[in-house]
Structure formats: structure tokens, C-alpha cells
Amino acid sequence: MNTRKRIVLSVFFLLIAHCAWAQQKPTAANPSDPPALPKDSTREVHLIRSDILKFEKKDSIELQILVGNAMLQQENTFFNGDSIVMNKLQNIIEVFGNIHINDADSVNVYSQYLIYYGNTRIAHLKKNVKLSDGKATLTTETLEYDLNTKTGTYLDGGKIITSTSTLTSKEGYYYADTKDAYFKENVRLVDPEYTMATDTLLYNMDTQIATFVSPTTINDGKSVIRTSDGYYDMNKGLANFGKRPVIEDSTQYITADNINFDKTTGEGFAEGRVVYIDTAQGVTLMSEKSRFNRDSKTVLATVKPVMIIKQDNDSIFITGDTLYSGIKSDTLYIKDTSAAIDKNAGELRADSSDINSSITGIPQYDTTVKEEVMNDAAAKVLRKPIKAADAKKPGLLNGRKPPLPKDTALQQAGSLHEEAKDTLPANIRPLNDSDSLAMHTIVPADKDTVKGMRVRDIDRIDSVRFFQAFRHVRIFSDSMQAVCDSMFFSGRDSVFRLHINPVVWAKESQITGDTIYLYTKNKKPDHIEVLENAFSISKSNDSFYNQLKGNTIHGFFKDGDIDHIFAKGSAESLYYLQDDDSAYTGANYAQADLINLYFVKKELDKITWLYQVKGGFYPVNAVPEERQRFKNFEWEEARRPKTRLELFE
């Protein structure tokens, strides 16, 4: 056939094909299929390989069927599966069995079923779905993965596992590029260092920063944190919590409007209506700003701080410019709680009394001796009738030496402790108040040098809380009020130590001095010691003031009222006397080395004077003016806190 004939036949066949195409009806689209988008050649899915390739028409749509070792490619994304059905016209593929999507060598997705829309680049995966980006692995049963934004979404439960943590939730949205994730409903994060439970969580898998937008509970093994706002850097242990978060453990509770916290050091800063509670000691500390350490259990409160020492009916309220509280060891001497004898090893383990007295020769001072022992002894001595022969003996009170105040006994015990320190065996040393908890051990010797005895480290050390207040200190309880410039209180001896212009009020009595020690028992005033320039005043009426002064004053309380008080050293007293009708009959003025006053039902019942006594009785209107007010007399009622509410102002 010559060339001209071949050209004519080709044109004829082209005309026939064109007529047939023009008469063909459009194929009806499947309602379930997404609308076809304008064809984009860059988003076409191309066949890479397959063991078997078949063509099949379905609803007038030609399908390509790939079976065995099938692989397709779209841009830099590869699709693998046991079998693939590809709709070239709509750019849709459906994959069955052992599916693997490799997206730009950065994200790998696995499942057992996939339908992929090439034009929108959105994949829907089902059955044993797993998505991995090198930092985390997501597993779920149903996942939608957007290859444009590299975002995975699951709505029916999923789990994300990193190198250290596991996160589960009902819903999740994971952004592989930024490593950000958004989780909702029954969110739980488990890590060797902490666990977290919430309803909504924003989390970055790379930085391990969790952002909270709903009520969240975090347990880091040392404490439980509850918050609904803020963030927590799980890697560095740094956190910022808002909207009244709570941090608590077995002995502490703290809440505030905002809290910054460092899990590594235990340090934190709280601001806005701060409440710190020592649940073990029954103490609450409130302020506007506070620095605390969860691990060492210390707290420094500023800006309107108020501390409350809880008790049944008469809690004690304390305020100042700054309040500080910490924990201190409650052990004077080294102890070993074991008393067992190991005969085979020839080792004797001694109890604390053996170590303290038998080995060191230092008598054991029992810090648990109750204060009422000293109080009762003092009362018996002071109330004993005076013997004329004994009254002149120097240093004697009613013929007997007065009992040592509690602090004096402690000082003597400490003095003996210091004197004996140099004589201790090489493997034993005493403890100082400044010793840390880690130092409270017995230093082992190379050989058993003391009667073949070997002692072990301490098994247990009790600790107590102490408090310090600085500047403009005020104390209020129903039975007692006080002011000073600085204060120290320890739960070990229950003594308030008031310094710099201290004043203590108990009912109608006012007590001042250079330094005041207020002993409490069951958190109620029990005994007061005033050191240097001691002055006690009680107002009898608008014009008369009963007064007692001396170098030192010791007073004893009963149910919040002064029961017995005595002044020692250049003591003076002035007391107005009343008859049965409460009419004033006169005033008794005296000077002595020691003056004792006894009260019954808040009324003066008896006065005794000892050593170098002089003075006299004056008619009520004839008291010399210079004796109506002792030197340095100041009635400080204006400084006295009237209600607990004043401390919060």
C-alpha cells in the first residue's frame, strides 16, 4: 500500500473514533466518591512495581488492580501493600494488607487497610494503625493522616509512645512536623518520673512540654499537683501553674493564684492568695507572695503574711513583714534504735542510753520532760511558809534553792556536753544544732576501741517545725496577744522567743522587757520569762495601775490567766487593794530582791517579799506621784491586737 493510501485510512479511522466519543454518554459518578478536582499532574499517583497488573471496569470506570509486591508513588511519598486498586480518573487508591506509607523518609505509617485521595492527599487508615516519626510512635485502630500538614487524627482511642513515656486518650491530633499533639477525653500520660491525668492536653513530643487547659492531676512520686492552667516542662522539671493550682504531699499543702515550680530542686514561688499548710504540725501560713521548697519543707512568706497555729478552741495567729518556717532535727545525741546482740559476729548494738551515758559519760537530757514538773516544783517552793532563820540566807528562796528555769537546765546540759566533747572516744562525736540530717551519724572507727562495741548509723531522726517572724510582729489568740520586732518559735519546746521591744498581754496584764520567752503547753500560754528590764502592768481602773518590775520576771498561767508571778533583782511592786465591796482602800508599795504575787480567780490573793525589803502602805489618794508610775512606765494598749482580723489587714 502506497503512502497516500495509508494517510487516507488513518484519517478515516480518526473520524470514526471522534464520532463514537461524541455519542458516548457521561459516566454517572458514585455518590460516595469525593468530587473530582481539576487534574494536577504533580499529584498523579504513579505505578512503581507490581507482580500482577490487571485492568477492570466498574460502573464504566476503568480500574487498575495491582497484586503482590505493589508500590505506588506520589511526589516523595511511597505506598506499599499486598494489593492495590487504583482509580486513575479520580486519583484514588485503595490498599489492602501490610500497608506501609513512607512520607519523605520522615514519617512512616502502617495499617491493614487504606483509602487515599491523591488530589487532597488525605489518607484514611484502619486496623492496627501505627504512625512513627522517629520521636514518637502512635498506635490506634482508625487514623486520618493528612500528608500536606503531616497531621494524624484519631477519634476512637489511641496511644503515643516515646522513649520514656506513654500517652493514651480518646481523641488525638498529632502534628509530625512540629511534634505538637492535642489530646482530648481520658488523657493519661505515664512516665518513670510522673503520671498525669486530664481531659484536655497540649503536648510537644520533642520538648516534652505539656500545656494545660482543663483540670489536670500530676503525680511525680513526691507530691500531687492539681492545676487547670499553665505548662510543665517534663524534661527539665520546670512548671508554671495558674488558676489556683495545688501542690500537696503527705505533710504539706500549698495553693495560690499562680505557682512557678522546679521539680528538680523542689523550689517554688507562689503569688496571689497563697496558702501553705503543714498538715502534720497543724500550721497554716497565708500571704500574697511566698517562696517555698517542697523537699526541705521550708517556706518564706512576704506581703501580708499570717501564720495560724491550729488548736481546738484558741488558735494562735501571727503576722509580720516576713515569716519564715523550716524543719529542724529533734535529736540532741546520737541514737541507735537496735538493741540486738549478734553472738556470732561478737557485735553488740547499743541503745541510745548506752551510747550517751555508758560510753561518753554524758548524762542523757530528756527533752520530753513536761513543763508542769518545773511549774509545780516552783509553786511548792515559793508557797512554802517563810522561816525567819532562812529568810536571811543569800541565794535561798524560803530556805531552798529555787528550781532552775528550763533554759538554764538546757544551758547546763549543753555546757557539760561541750566540756566532755574532748574526752569522747575517736569513733563518737556529739551533734551541733547546725549539723545537717546527713551528718547525724556515728563516725566508724577502724577497730572496736570501746569494750569491743560497734555502733551503727542512726535509723531514724524525728524533726520538728520552727518559725521566724521579722519586723512588726503581732501575735493574737483569745487568751494572749503580743507584739515585737522579731520572733522565733520551735515546735520542739513550744516556746515563743520575742526580741526587740516585746510586749505580751494576757487578759488585763501587760508584760514588757528586753527579751521575752513565752512557754506554751498544748498551744496555750503556760509560763513566761522576761529577761532584763522586766515590767508587768495590770490596769485596775482608769486611774490605777498595778505594777511589778525587776531584772527578770517569771510568770505562770492557768487557763490563760496569771496564776503566779515573781520578779527578781531590784524588784518593785505597787498594788492597789480593794475591800469586799470592791472599794479601793489603799496601795501597797515595796522594794525587795524577790517579790512573789499569787492570784485566785484573777484577783491578787497574796504577796511575799524576800531580802532587803522596804516600802509601805499608802491610802489610795496619798500614793506619791513618783510611785504611781514606775520608771519607764508605758501602757502599750494602743499596740495591742484587738481581733484576729487586724492581722489580715
How does pLDDT run across 191-227, given as a tens digit for each residue? 888 899 999 999 888 888 999 999 999 998 888 999 9
CA nearest neighbour of 410 among 358, 367, 375, 440: 367
* Residue whose C-alpha cell reads 492557768 in the numeric block: 558
3-state SS assignment for residue 415: helix
* Residue whose C-alpha cell reads 491493614 in the numeric block: 112
Specify which residues 390 forms β-bridges with: none
d(CA 243, CA 531) in angstroms, rounded, equals 48
| pLDDT score at 560 | 67
Please, what is the Cα angle at 422 between 419 and 428, to 5 degrees? 115
How does pLDDT run across 25-40, given as a tens digit for each residue? 333 344 444 444 455 5
Q: How many CB atoms lie within 10 A of CB 165?
A: 20
How does pLDDT run across 98-145, given as a tens digit for each residue? 999 998 888 899 999 999 999 999 999 999 999 998 888 999 999 999
d(CA 439, CA 198) in angstroms, rounded, equals 42
CA nearest neighbour of 241 among 221, 225, 220, 253: 225
Q: Which of the residue ranges 325-339, 417-431, 475-489 would you say has the lowest mean pLDDT?
A: 417-431
Specify which residues 289 forms β-bridges with: 271, 302
Report the length, in residues, of the chain. 649
Contact yes or no for 200/214 (Cβ under 8 A) = yes
H/E stretch holding 414: helix 406-421
Evaluate the CA torsion angle 125, 129, 134, 135 in order and state its sign: positive
C-alpha cell at 22: 461524541
Contact yes or no for 595/603 (Cβ under 8 A) = no
With cut-offs at 50, 70 and 90, classify the pLDDT of residue 581.
Answer: confident
C-alpha cell at 586: 489603799
Q: What is the pTM of this model?
A: 0.66
How does pLDDT run across 53-104, given as a tens digit for each residue? 888 887 778 889 999 989 999 988 999 999 999 998 889 999 999 999 998 8
Specify which residues 513 forms β-bridges with: none
Specify which residues 572 forms β-bridges with: 549, 591
Single-letter code of the amino acid located at 550: G
3-state SS assignment for residue 13: helix
Q: Which domains does the chain have, with CATH numbers?
A: 249-296 (no CATH), 341-464 (no CATH), 491-648 (2.60.450.10)
How does pLDDT run across 522-537, given as a tens digit for each residue? 767 788 999 999 999 8
CA nearest neighbour of 307 among 294, 335, 326, 334: 326
Specify which residues 157 forms β-bridges with: none
d(CA 186, CA 209) in angstroms, rounded, equals 19
What's the rounded mean pLDDT across residues 556-563? 78
Q: How many CB atoms lie within 10 A of CB 398?
A: 20
